[in-house]
Structure 1
């Protein structure tokens, strides 16, 4: 007799991945077994759940309703089982997440030893990129996104805000001068960072007396990678407007200098998005909670470092950092 719970897990995985093959790979089952299990489930419930074509799978009306109930029932079972025994130690399995490079390298990856120590049985698969992820089609559990989320029907939880900073290398500023106004800024060149979401160069954004101001900057270099973007700025190829957490070490070392600090760039909203069917899943729930706490700590640290940096800028270089004065007649 068919194991109904197992069959429901197989069916929901097929729907989430939109593929019998990907579902089989993620479940560690032969593809033929996945197909047979779904057919047996359809025979058991007495309706067709999936409309199969040579190109893709589509849920039938009955299949969509059944999927919603299955997802909730399976989440309830997972939550129930995780509440017994050793509690958090029982949480196990693979969690697939997507996030932007800067968020991964500056915030999440440094804290992963803490996560692993707390949840040693959870395997994280982290994809890098700031794009609109098809969570269902790609089998992704949750996605960290910068900026406004598209109206996709996903559940989203706000994690925080990340400040952007306008900056350039000392070499560039020595050659072209330090802009004092936005009009002067428009005469400068910038490194153009290509947005993964739009495929176009990102504009420079500012908040001027509460009003958003967008500036299209000219430049002769385009990059689509955050590390390359920062490297181009450090090498003096133009002004850049990266996330402050990505540029902080370069600002502290003096490889980059903040430009027009009186005109702030609007901070970017950071959210984590996940499928409705994943909302009550213990692994997703705990990871989202952990991310929220991590971002809160990171925001506090970033605010402190920013405050210290700006205080140091106002004071100017310390005596130790200033070049020795030349003596008369030397």
Structure 2
């Protein structure tokens, strides 16, 4: 019996809750994985798992053995990584999940810097806005915006963003420009709802010491960030975009800021990884790269820049209309 392989198979079954998902996670035939766990139980002379046609659960002895297996496998990874770090850069497969808009609008345009810096890492980038089970899906870490309420993961804050309110020039020309959050009641607004709970998010605004929270009626509510951006660009209504998404649009005139002084609460960028897993060097360098990328990304600190661009566009339009004779 390959006891190390059998331990990995057993931990995979406990983590994922079944033989099929564990076999997929470990890239191992289900029959081979099942046989490895059975051999391990025979070797230990202890039943580790309760098996029924519907589910697999861990026994009391199995739970205790699982904790020891996890520590042994982590110690083994530590030993291997301590050697690999001396011999070169981190290497191997790294599975990461990010939201669709974060992937397409923020990370992918800059991802070449990570791949060039760490050429021995094989990155698998999953793009979704759905809730995840990092353990059962074999994901090393996930990048999310907003608080993560999951006791099975550890989170690290790698950045902060805000939402800005915007619309197309065509929409504003037709419907006018809101000056205060309460003016949104007279406008067509685009709502966003949680894929996890189905809850429609309120519109929260802050200006100096004033705070406004609105529940806005909308003819269109979405739960995909890229689709939400497309709806804004199509002129379907007023939307709220993260600064890292919005920053590319004012210069080409596709979107304009409204209520510039009214911003959302700070929203954290978080990297989450399983709490019972060692933070490998692959994950660590990716998390550090994300933090570095967010720190220097123009869209993460563009509130003031966006306002300046908007004011410049307004000034240009006033000059063209003859309202101003010389630039201010």
Bin of the TM-score, shorter chain as denominator length:
0.7 to 0.9
Residue 168 of structure 2 contacts residue 233 of structure 2 at CA under 8 Å; is this kept in 1? yes
Q: Distance in 1 between matches of 2:318 and 2:37?
A: 69
State the 1:226 CA deviation.
Answer: 2.0
In the TM superposition, what are the counterparts of 1:1-330 in structure 2 within 5 Å?
A: 2-84=1-83, 87=86, 89=88, 91-210=90-209, 212-298=211-297, 301-303=298-300, 305-316=302-313, 323=320
State the 1:239 CA deviation.
Answer: 0.7
Corresponding position of 2:326: none
Query: Unpaired runs of 5+ in structure 2?
Result: 323-328
State the 1:32 CA deviation.
Answer: 1.2
Once the two structures are overlaid, the 10-residue window that deviates more, 175-184 or 89-98, is 89-98
Q: Distance in 1 between matches of 2:161 and 2:87?
A: 30
Corresponding position of 2:325: none
- SS of 2:267's partner is strand
- SS of 1:262's partner is coil
Number of equivalences: 323
Query: Unpaired runs of 5+ in structure 1?
Result: 326-330
CA pair 132-52 structure 1, distance change in 2 beyond 3 A: same
TM-superposition CA deviations, 1:218-246 (whole Å, max 9, x none): 22223332222222222221110121211
State the 1:190 CA deviation.
Answer: 0.5
CA pair 11-284 structure 1, distance change in 2 beyond 3 A: farther
CA pair 102-218 structure 1, distance change in 2 beyond 3 A: same
- SS of 1:242's partner is strand
State the 1:265 CA deviation.
Answer: 0.9
State the 1:173 CA deviation.
Answer: 1.2
Residue 158 of structure 1 contacts residue 271 of structure 1 at CA under 8 Å; is this kept in 2? yes
Residue 162 of structure 1 contacts residue 267 of structure 1 at CA under 8 Å; is this kept in 2? yes
State the 1:88 CA deviation.
Answer: 6.9
